[in-house]
Every structure is written in C-alpha cells, then in structure tokens.
Amino acid sequence: MEPRILLFIIFGAAIGGIIWLEKRLEGTWLSLPIVYVALGWLLFSLPLDLGWLAPAFDAEQTIAVEYVSEMIVIVSLMSLGLSIDREFSWRKWKQVLPLLLVTMPLCIAAVALLGYWAMGLSLASAMLLGACLSPTDPVLARAVQVGPPGDSDKDDVRFNLSTEAGFNDSLAFPFVYLAIALTTMDEGWFGRWVAVDVLWKIVAGVAVGFLVGKTGAWLAFRKSGGKNKHEHGIDEGSEGLLVISSLFLSYGLGEIVNGYGFLSVFVAAVTAKQREIESDLHKKTHGFIDQIERLILVIILIGFGGLLASGVLNSLTWPIVLVSLAFLVLIRPFFGYIAQAGSALPKPGKVAVAFLGVRGIGSFYYLAYGQHHAEFGDLPKLWAAVSFTVLLSIVLHGVTASKLLQKLGGDERVG
C-alpha cells in the first residue's frame, strides 16, 4: 500500500476516534494530545515508510511546519475568541494583564539566560528559544480554557488562561523579531525593533481585528436589532462561511498592514462576540470552527509523534532537560504567581493559573518562522529543546489539568 493512501486511512480513523475518545478521557489522567502523540510515535516507528521528519535540517519541512502550525493557531484563536462570554470592560478583563506584561517577559528573559548560560546557545538562539517557549498555547490547552459559548465553565481560572493564550501568541512575536534582529544587529536595529515590531505591529493588529470584528458582527446581526437571540441577519447554514471569511480577512489584512495577524484574529473574534453576546449564532459559528480545529489538531499531533520517532530528540542533553523542567515546574509557576499579587483571585486559583501554562503548537510555529527568516545556529538543539518542552507539557499538564480544575470546582472567581 502506498504511504499516501495509508495516511488517508490513519487520519480518517484518528479524526473519527475523537468522537469516541473525548468523553471517555474526561476525568482520567490521560488527555487527547497524549494519546495521539503516542499514536503518531508508534506509527512512524513501524516499518510503514511514512517518511522521516527532520525540519531542523530540511528547509522545505521547516516551511511546511510553519504553514501548518500557523493555520491551526489562527483557527484556535478564532475558536477561543468566540468562546469568551464575558462582557469586555477594564474591571472584568484587567486581571489578565499581569500575565501578559509581567509573566511572559520574565519567562522569556529567564529561558534566554538559561539557554545562553546552561545550553551554550548564541545570544540570538537563546532569545529565540525564550520567545518560542513563552506563549501559552491556544491549541493544546483546550482542557483548561473556557467552554463553548453558553457553557458553564466560565470561572476566572479558565478565563485568565484563555485570554492569556489568546493574546500572548501575538505578544511573543516581538521577541521572535528581536532574536532575528540579533542575528545581524545592523545599524539602527533596536530603534526599528521598538518602533515597528513592538509598537506598530501591535497597534495595527488590534485595529484590523476590531474593524473586521465590527464588520462581521454588523453583517451577522443587522436585522435582529438585539431583540431576539435566535434571530440574525445571515441565511441559515451560512454561519461557517461567515466565520471562515472573518478568519481569513482578519489574518490577511492584519499581516498586509504589517501588523500581527494572530492578534487581529483573536481581537476580531472577541469584538464580534461582544455584539449580542448571548445570541445562538455564536454557538453555531463556534461549533463550525471548533470542528476544523479538531481536524487539524489530529494531523498535527500525529505529526508531532512522527517528529519524535524521527529523532528530533537525538540532540537532547541534560542541560536541555534541566532547562525544560525548570521552565515548566519553577519559572512559569513562580512568575505566573507573583504577577497575580494584586489579583483578588483566591490563592488556589492563582496557583492553578500559574501552573497550567500549557506549551504547544505555537512554539513550533515561532521556531520554524525564525529558522525560515534568519540564520540561527544550534538548530538541532533548539528543535530538541522545544520538542521536549512541549512533550513534557503535554504529559505534565495533560495528567494534572483535569483533576486540578475539578478540585477547584469552578468556584474561583473574583467577581
């Protein structure tokens, strides 16, 4: 049998398997990512001629990883933004800011320092590693995020983790560009980085997302006038077309004005959701994009298992292992906790938010993006470090997240 045909069978069975597995894994120590990464590792370890995955050495594979991970991240950001039922206001949303403005930069600095000192990376490669590992993941963190529109899982722990994942997959990008700038350090690089990569790209990304979200919401609700949550302004069955249109437009327009497309997608979804926040239309659009997300997720998880089977961890060293462990068990929890010093969230909730910083597909996107756009040394080390950290996060958070959130019981609220 041709490997191509075999992959059709594997992915078809694996996608269908989600329907059976998701409910059965609830409340257990296993998670869907653990199962599918293990399945991918097993399949690529067998003599099935499925190929050899080595993006650290193959430029075409690097670009493939960049594009596939880019797609799943923007789909996940749209799905996540549509899930957040909380009305936007400074009082209700300000609690996530310390995670973005304190925890993430401190985590980047700590990982970059350890990468430079303990792993022997160059300054540019160490900064790239810090940027890759800094964002919490909107893709693999489904278990710790808010539920779909109208769902009861809307406590502040889930809200904080969801909004953090929604925003910091964009706000880590300036540090990827900083790493790229450090590979050349040409004249005026720092001022250009601050003006363009930090200030302009963030403002442009937010502006595009807001405009696309407002336009999409107007199209969806122009007939209802807010009088009936079951009434909206698009034809029945067109909900999927609307959400895909908004997804592509927000990302494409965000990128074309030299902004952060990831930020545009999330802001567009949140902005659209704020219009008639209890409308049934949001459930339909979210349900459509959620199915696409799960489909791509299965392919990526099996691919990650194949990456592990292909030897991406051959460059793993004890310093890399210790840095990854320190990051997930000490650095993120410590900086995540101290950033919430002024939060009214009870202590168990703060601990949960600090600990449940899931790493995932976004880290691979940033690594592939950096590799594609600049010359970095130590690429096998970087791929080993990111892969091991993501694998460790899948296991560590996959085993603990469900039990920890059940123990909190959804009562961790600040108001």
Q: Which residues of the chain have pLDDT under 70?
A: 1, 27, 150-154, 223-237, 409-415
- How big is the chain, counted in residues? 415
Query: What does the pLDDT look like over 355-402, one tens digit per residue?
Result: 998 889 999 999 999 999 999 989 999 999 999 999 999 999 988 887
Q: Mapped to the 3 state alphabet, what secondary structure does 131-193 carry?
A: HHHCCCCCCCCHHHCCCCCCCCCCCHHHHHHHHHHHHHHHHCHHHHHHHHHHCCCCCCHHHHH
Tokens of 202: 């963030």
Say if residues 178 and 190 touch (Cβ distance below 8 Å). no
pLDDT of 414 reads 40
**Separation CA 163–CA 253 (nearest Å):** 22
Question: How much is the pTM?
Answer: 0.93
How many Cα atoms within 13 Å fall on the side-chain side of residue 241?
7
pLDDT of 24 reads 83
263 CB neighbour count, 10 Å cutoff:
29
Query: What does the pLDDT look like over 52-88, one tens digit per residue?
Result: 899 999 999 999 999 999 999 999 999 999 999 888 8
Tokens of 237: 């069955």
**Separation CA 158–CA 318 (nearest Å):** 34
Cα 241 to Cα 217, 220, 273, 378, distances in angstroms: 13, 11, 16, 43
**Separation CA 146–CA 334 (nearest Å):** 23
**Separation CA 78–CA 280 (nearest Å):** 17
Say if residues 115 and 50 touch (Cβ distance below 8 Å). no
**Separation CA 349–CA 407 (nearest Å):** 10
Domains of the chain, CATH where assigned: 3-408 (1.20.1530.20)
Which residue, among 209, 214, 213, 103, has the nearest Cα to 165 in the 3D structure? 103
**Separation CA 254–CA 266 (nearest Å):** 11
